[in-house]
Structure 1
């Protein structure tokens, strides 16, 4: 075990734990953001650089600071290590620069992007971005591509985090897409225009931190904050069957995997659950999904509304049983 101090908070973690995962054990604002790292996918991390932190003391045995900022997702802790994240002006300034770099080619089309409201880059830009860009050159542009009958690829929005390729490598039987070319010409694409049809390929959409990979069955149907997320499950022989239904009224607009507080999928789901069961009757509803209060999705107060409706239904039942007149409302007694 090793003791590490992050932003003045000490935590004891197992040897080999990265700084990022040590911070996640603490939780809260001391957790660095991550755009490419994904705990359930092997070999991820070290590409986006938004998780940079400052190590002011390497260890108890060697208290010298590390000369440069390090990627917290790739740097293991050492006993006695002292780390600064949000308490370091140098880290915050570097993160601001990384965000500016990620936005150099990103089209900033949030008003028409289906990922708006649940986009990691959007949140990162809001917290650490600059008010304007210094970039004056022409942005990279790509044509929109269908990489299957259910997935739309907007390469113009891609930040090359590689998450989708790791999903294909580690969850599906055969990977038919990857990163082609190098440098500024790099892009995600399929080989010889081959369609992505693997049974777990839909998870590429869930792990994408931006709007580069979107669900064609959900595109332009609704803003995510106008939907009502519900935890639900079904008996599935291919996956756990535990999902989130994004509904509007009685219509299921989208089915996605459940994510934890760090925005990472807990259990990957199959394409059958994701695309073929869009009726409420196909699922056992567990209840409203809790969304972090800082998310724009929570602004419709769907959990609060449900509680108010439940209380109203109970009051109406009591009044109905006592033979009293029901209050004026368009709802019928439960």
Structure 2
């Protein structure tokens, strides 16, 4: 009989849960759920060694542990800090955390262009969400932004380095999914950029997944660029018989037309199963797919407002206390 592992208790914003030793504060927060979960621009659970770069997940540790109740002197990155038994953490309830998140957001936006109206990532962009919640109305910097020309880094992928925040998710995904990595972070400091090795193309069978892991619009699908705004499309679960991957995908459709194909993601926008390039880029016809039904988008986003799916027994209330309730049946 194996010995039972003692779990650690952690309290985040007044909510307590128990987690296994070695769990990060961020994963413990995700176990609690709700608005106490810190945002993360670089951490990506399916990718080894991710996290620790963007600092958007900073939290205040007001109590280190039962053994040593002293608070930690500085804010810590929740994705890289392990839980201790009896630890108490403040996220939403900490003014220092919120001020630090505003500062981090401002730094991320220093070189980021204001091209949301033409960016394919608009509507499902983590930086757009951060900018809305914590961003300033105008920049306080006076120097010129870094600018790059869009670059083709493969037959299917377009790189917009202007939008990149150097989270390194795409590099880690390539390391994990391919045997020979052909792109990475070149140079250092403010000169750092994502690029390929001697202009080589990224043509691995699974390299299209770097588009899905990118939290901003730096890597885009050339087969779907400028085809449609995401909030005008209808996501549906679909599957096919594929010899390379599971074939389980999300089709983003406009009428009967397949605009783009992506991997299925959870509420934190993390891929559940990697898909191959053939499923992602080459199967843009319904004849290849078995439709399973509408895809419910769990993460908070423009695309999760149920404009494409009516929940059962839903009652819509008009913004008027004297108005009568309108049911789904009345609407139809």
Same fold? TM cut 0.5: yes
Residue of structure 1 in register with 2:317 after alignment: none
Q: Which residue is equivalent to 2:56?
A: 50
Q: 1:235 to 1:14 in 2, by over 3 A?
A: same
Q: Does 2:269 match 1:263?
A: yes
The aligned counterpart of 2:47 is 41
* Equivalent residue for 2:27, pick from 13, 21, 37: 21
Aligned to 1:109: 115
Question: Secondary structure of 2:309's match?
Answer: helix
Q: Is the 8 A contact 2:24 2:78 kept in 1?
A: yes
**2:307 matched to which residue of 1?**
301
- Which position in structure 1 is the counterpart of 2:251? 245
Partners of 2:262 and 2:279 in 1: how far apart? Answer: 9
**C-alpha contact 1:226 1:300 (8 A) present in aligned 2:** no
Tell me the alpha carbon deviations over residues 26-83 of structure 1, each in whole angstroms, 9 at most, x when there is no partner.
1110000000001000000000000000000000000000000000000000000000
**Could you tell me how far 1:306 is from its partner in structure 2?**
11
How do 1:101-250 residues align onto structure 2 when only pairs under 5 Å count? Answer: 101-250=107-256
Aligned residues: 308
Q: Give the corresponding residue for 1:4.
A: 10
Q: Which residue of 1 aligns with 2:296?
A: 290
The 1:234/1:306 distance shift into structure 2, 3 A limit, reads farther
Runs of 4 or more off by more than 6 Å in structure 1?
A: 305-308
Distance in 1 (CA, whole Å) between partners of 2:174 and 2:212 is 13
| Paired residues of 1:173 and 1:198 also in contact (CA < 8 A) | no
Deviations 1:124-146 (A, max 9, x none): 11112122221111000011100
Distance 1:66 1:41 in 2: 28
Does residue 1:99 correspond to 2:105, yes or no?
yes
SS in 2 for 1:96: helix
**For residue 70 of structure 1, what is the aligned residue in structure 2?**
76
Distance 2:312 2:240 in 1: 23
RMSD: 1.5
Q: Secondary structure at the match of 1:67?
A: coil
Asked if the contact 2:268/2:299 (under 8 Å) is kept, the reply is: no
Deviation of 1:236 after TM superposition, in Å, equals: 1.3
Q: Where in structure 1 are there 5+ consecutive unaligned residues?
A: 309-334
Tell me, yes or no, if the aligned pair for 2:62 and 2:72 is still in contact at 8 Å: yes
Per-residue CA distance 1:311-333 (angstroms, 9 max, x = gap): xxxxxxxxxxxxxxxxxxxxxxx
2:90 maps to which residue? 84
> 131-140 or 26-35: which moved more?
131-140
Matched position secondary structure for 2:238: strand
Provide, for residues 234-253 of structure 1, a one-character-per-residue CA deviation record: whole Å limited to 9, x for no partner: 12111111100001111101
